[in-house]
Chain A
Amino acid sequence: MIGNLPYIAVAIFIGLGIYTLMFKKNLIKIAIGVCLIENGVNLFLITLGYKKGAIAPIYTQAPSGQAMVLPTPQALTLTSIVIGIATTALILSVAMMIYKHYGTLDTDQVRRLRG
């Protein structure tokens, strides 16, 4: 159980993100919720690639004789972080547009689409 404590942290991260998405009313809080899930999943990807007592997989002036960490999760997380930037920027821009037209950020008042 103690062995995979980081995965429990990931589960809590994503749980918090889903909680804010489901129960919060303000648009900016929902955007923060999406960022929380984003970071939780990135943390999950990075913790998959760790090897005990290993160094970063770079050969320039590396201390000799030590094992190297798994490199693929780092490449995947790099891509996922930049996708996180793109989604966050777009969510905030759409929230600004909604604020421009509706004058409020509360999801209960942003309700013109009915039926």
Chain B
Amino acid sequence: MNLSNHIPILIIAIPLLAAFLVPLIGRINKKATGILTTLALSVSLIFTIALAVKILTVGPQVYVFGATSPSLTLPSGLKFPIRIMLQIDAMSIFMGLITAVISFFGAIYSLSFIKKYDGVDKYYSLLLLLTVGMFGMEFTGDIFNFFVFLEIASIASVALISFRGVDYGEPAEAGFKYMMVSSISALMVLFAVGIFYGQYDLLNFAAIASMIKYSQLDKIALGLLIPVLAMKAGAVPMHMWTPDAYSEAPAPITMILVAASQASLYALFRIVFSLYNISLNALTVGWIIIIFGLLSMFIGVTMAIVQKDIKRLMAYHAVSQTGYMLLGVGVGLAVLANPVALQKYGITAMEGGIFHIMNHAMYKGLLFLTAGALFFRTGTRDLNKMGGLAHYMKYTTIFFIIGAAAIAGLPPFNGFASKLLIYESVYRFNPLLSIIAMVVSILTLASFVKVFHSAFLGPKLPQFKEVKEVPRSMVFAMAVLSCIIIFFGLFPDLIVKNLVHPAVMSLIEQLQYTGTVLGGM
């Protein structure tokens, strides 16, 4: 019973077991729940890193549930899989790493952030379930299983968004909006699962990818899936829920929600690249995704400049940064058909887009944590009421500067690395898009300078006299995120070469994806 080939399921099962035990342990003593949560998430973080090393060296892993051996995808004498399986290739473990890092530091941050509220064990149980939902969405190779884990992540995040709703009204309203968005998107995903099952009598991603004929029904399924998953990821025409949900949720939960909406972005890329790939006319679908990206970029940043509430401002920036990812990968998809253009700039565009997912998760998480630190000490999110906090909260100010510089794409930080990749490759595809991207980046910098001025600079205000630095666990979480940002910023090609490039190649080559399952390797 060597543990090494059971790692994929242990990453999901251990936080799930911890989620069930936390309410039980909460009855005995409250302190142990936080420790158990951080322990479970640290175990899954270590396992995710071990699995990432194994996948980047050996190749995609498959884990079949209930079969006589973990890699037996095709039972004897059959040419299609019947059991559920986790299919983890370079792209899914890339997203798994983001989820593991973000949820681990979210748990550490909330060790001291959540002391003010009651119902602490329910909070930790929901946090673990949200992480399990995201891991399940990224690792599964079965469409219906993806729907179930999408639902777990949605319900856990609705409960967490309206967690503060016992004594305020706004979180309940934000939770209701998010619940509407996630129920509609989950049900339309289920409708698409019905369409695929009705035609091919299969539920496995790779098996359907090998059988797909892009008939009239498959076009409808694609036409349903793209807007619905873009809605979950916060792209513009349907982004109404993002500012409310991100500003009303507690700060560490907002950070994990950003990673959760990126998981549905990953699902969008997985469906477009691994399920349909060559069979769809890549140019039109690519241009649809590019238009989603452009709208998100522009409207996100223009709405952000006028905001007064610090977390709503950052939420609109999250919408505009999602636009960058959609733009990068949309360009890569648009040129998927002709291999010459793909080699020239398509792959670098996708590398920029996907690397931007990791960078965005890191610096947006850091920014939300600094906003949480301000709220934790001053009790308000309104920029007009804040002022002169740099005098009291030294570390938070430094972390805010790092985060703001990274999101604006200033050179030594990681935002610059991925945005540069996007600029130069999108420029060769269509110069106008690249110019819009640069303008949006400048507007982002402008709005963050405004935030820095109104929140941190200025004279010492009388009502913030007793404000002091945030507790150690919050500072530790923010410090580690800043180190990651700086490390990615200084050595971007190290990350791109052996983490992002295999992820992009595993998305583009559909045969490698279907081969791991149907080839019976």
Contacts and interface: CB of A to CB of B under 8 A. Distances in A.
B162 interface: yes
Interface stretch (B21-29, B54-62, B176-184, B504-512): B176-184
Interface string A83-104: 1001100110011011001100
A72 B176 contact: no
Interface string A21-37: 10000010010001001
Given A112-B170, A113-B170, A113-B244, A90 B197 contact: no
B190 A95 contact: no
Contact of A90 (B144, B179, B191, B193): B179
Given A37-B187, A113-B244, A94 B194 contact: no
A73 interface: yes
A91 B183 contact: yes
B174 A113 contact: yes
A70 B200 CA distance: 13
A72 B203 contact: yes
A41 B183 contact: no
B191 A44 contact: yes
B173 A110 contact: yes
User: What secondary structure prevails in chain A residues at the interface with B?
Assistant: helix
A8 interface: no
A101 B165 CA distance: 9
Nearest to B303: A115
B170 A90 contact: no
Contacts of B307: 115
B462 interface: no
16 contacts: A14-B191, A34-B180, A41-B187, A76-B193, A83-B148, A83-B151, A86-B155, A87-B183, A91-B179, A91-B183, A94-B162, A95-B176, A97-B162, A98-B172, A98-B176, A110-B173
A49 to B, nearest CB: 9
Nearest to A99: B172
Interface in B167-211: 168-170, 172-176, 179-180, 183-184, 186-187, 190-191, 193-194, 197-198, 201, 203
A54 interface: no
Given A83-B148, A91-B179, A98-B176, A44 B170 contact: no
B162 A80 contact: no
A94 B158 contact: yes
Interface string A66-88: 00001011001001100100110
B360 interface: no
By Cβ-Cβ distance, the 10 closest A-B pairs, closest first, are: A101-B169, A97-B172, A48-B198, A113-B244, A98-B172, A94-B176, A44-B194, A34-B183, A41-B190, A94-B175
B179 A102 contact: no
Nearest to A86: B155
A9 B472 CA distance: 59
A79 B159 contact: no
B432 interface: no
A41 B203 contact: no
B306 interface: yes
Given A37-B187, A112-B173, A30 B197 contact: no
Contacts of A110: 173, 176
A83 B190 CA distance: 11
A14 B244 CA distance: 27
Contact of A38 (B176, B187, B203, B308): B187
Contacts of A94: 158, 162, 165, 172, 175-176, 179
**Interface residues of A toward B: which range?**
20 to 34
Interface of A: 14, 21, 27, 30, 34, 37-38, 41, 44-45, 48, 70, 72-73, 76, 79-80, 83, 86-87, 90-91, 94-95, 97-98, 101-102, 110, 112-113, 115
A35 to B, nearest CB: 10
B180 A30 contact: yes
A115 B198 contact: no
Contacts of B162: 94, 97
Contacts of A113: 170, 173-174, 243-244, 247-248
Contacts of B191: 14, 41, 44
Nearest to B199: A48
A79 B312 contact: no
Contacts of B151: 83, 86-87
Contacts of B243: 113, 115
A73 B197 contact: yes
Nearest to A101: B169
Contact of B169 (A38, A41, A76, A112): A112
Interface in B288-330: 303, 306-308, 312
Contacts of B244: 113
A101 B167 CA distance: 8
Nearest to B172: A97
Contacts of B248: 113
Contacts of A102: 169, 173
Contact of B197 (A14, A27, A72, A95): A72
A72 B262 CA distance: 31
B194 A21 contact: no
B225 to A, nearest CB: 14
Contact of B144 (A14, A76, A87, A101): A76
A115 B158 CA distance: 21
Interface string B127-153: 000000000000000001000100100
